[in-house]
């Protein structure tokens, strides 16, 4: 989502919305007043910025409101020249007064969506409960480390808790834990302060490297605003590498069930904590 935010910031910020075409009402189902109101309230508004909190993107407007977006499993925000053939799953089209590239919300499965947050330019109420991510300049390392060590849970579960830290999905959690030589089942209240701080450093490094590579695209639907896939999946050390040798010690990477998903780790570098059934 950070890669998408950067693209929107480059190509959309500062432009005035001429019109909005909602082609599928489900795409704006979170906008309670409905699709007609969604289009009407945005016409004539200027996009002032492109911001992100976790997997949510919001675009502050000159009205004091904000467009809030979540891509779900298959959503895409694409920039296309006017007149370009419509995508099969085009849901919402934004045209701008400069007659430049359109912003299109394309969503095959329609699990994502857009809405307008009234007065939400600074921070929409709908996403205020989501914690900052480690790339945010106002993220507090000290507060995170203290909160992490107060939790009575497993460290991977904590990394995926968006009320504690955002921006860390299943893939990036596994990668950070591999770098930190920690098993995801390690109790958070057993972590020392320095160990928690090192883990946070690895989380930040993984996110920075992923952003520089345009994200991680295992699915053709995960693309930036120009329709390009990311390449960080080529640099993964743990995730998706079951049975392949650990790049550090050579032991075969293991896969374990985790919250209806999978966790990948090195059995040698990341031993299961004592008393753990799953790890």
pLDDT at 91: 97
- Burial of 124-153, coded b for 16+ CB within 10 Å and e otherwise, reads bebbeebbbbbeeeebeeeebbebbbebee
Q: Is 272 left (phi over 0), alpha (psi -120 to 50) or beta?
A: beta
pLDDT tens, residue order, the chain (279 aa): 888 898 999 999 999 999 999 999 999 999 999 999 999 999 999 999 999 998 899 999 999 999 999 998 889 999 999 999 999 999 999 999 999 999 999 999 899 999 999 999 999 999 999 999 999 999 999 999 999 999 999 999 999 999 999 989 899 999 999 999 999 999 999 999 999 999 999 999 999 988 887 654 334 444 555 555 444 667 899 999 999 999 999 999 999 999 989 999 999 999 999 865 443
pLDDT at 233: 65
Helix extents (H) in the chain = 2-11, 35-42, 141-150, 155-159, 170-180, 193-212
Closest C-alpha among 216, 118, 122, 123 to residue 168: 216
pLDDT at 212: 81
pLDDT at 113: 97
User: Which DSSP letter does residue 188 get?
Assistant: G
Q: Which residue has the tokens 């909190």?
A: 53
C-alpha span between 81 and 93 (Å, rounded): 12
Q: Give the side-chain half-sphere CA count within 13 A for 248.
A: 15
């Amino acid at each position: 989502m950070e890669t998408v935010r950067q693209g929107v910031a480059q190509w959309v910020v500062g432009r005035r919305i001429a019109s909005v075409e909602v082609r599928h009402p489900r795409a704006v189902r979170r906008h309670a007043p409905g699709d007609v109101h969604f289009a009407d309230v945005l016409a004539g508004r200027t996009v002032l910025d492109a911001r992100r909190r976790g997997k949510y993107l919001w675009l502050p407007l000159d009205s004091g409101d904000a467009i809030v977006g979540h891509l779900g499993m298959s959503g895409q925000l694409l920039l296309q020249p006017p007149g370009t053939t419509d995508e099969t799953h085009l849901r919402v089209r934004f045209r701008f007064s400069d007659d430049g590239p359109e912003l299109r919300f394309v969503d095959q499965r329609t699990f994502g969506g857009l809405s307008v947050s009234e007065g939400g330019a600074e921070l929409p109420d709908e996403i205020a409960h989501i914690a900052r991510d480690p790339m945010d300049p106002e993220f507090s390392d000290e507060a995170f480390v203290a909160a992490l060590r107060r939790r009575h849970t497993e460290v991977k579960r904590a990394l995926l808790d968006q009320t504690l830290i955002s921006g860390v999905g299943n893939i990036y959690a596994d990668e950070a834990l591999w770098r930190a030589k920690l098993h995801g089942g390690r109790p958070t209240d057993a972590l020392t302060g320095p160990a928690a701080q090192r883990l946070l450093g690895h989380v930040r490094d993984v996110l920075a490297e992923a952003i520089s590579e345009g994200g991680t695209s295992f699915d053709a639907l995960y693309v930036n605003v120009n329709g390009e896939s990311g390449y960080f999946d080529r640099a993964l050390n743990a995730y998706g590498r079951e049975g392949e040798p650990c790049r550090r010690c050579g032991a075969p990477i293991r896969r374990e069930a985790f919250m209806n998903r999978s966790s990948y780790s090195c059995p040698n570098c990341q031993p299961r904590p004592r008393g753990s059934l799953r790890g």
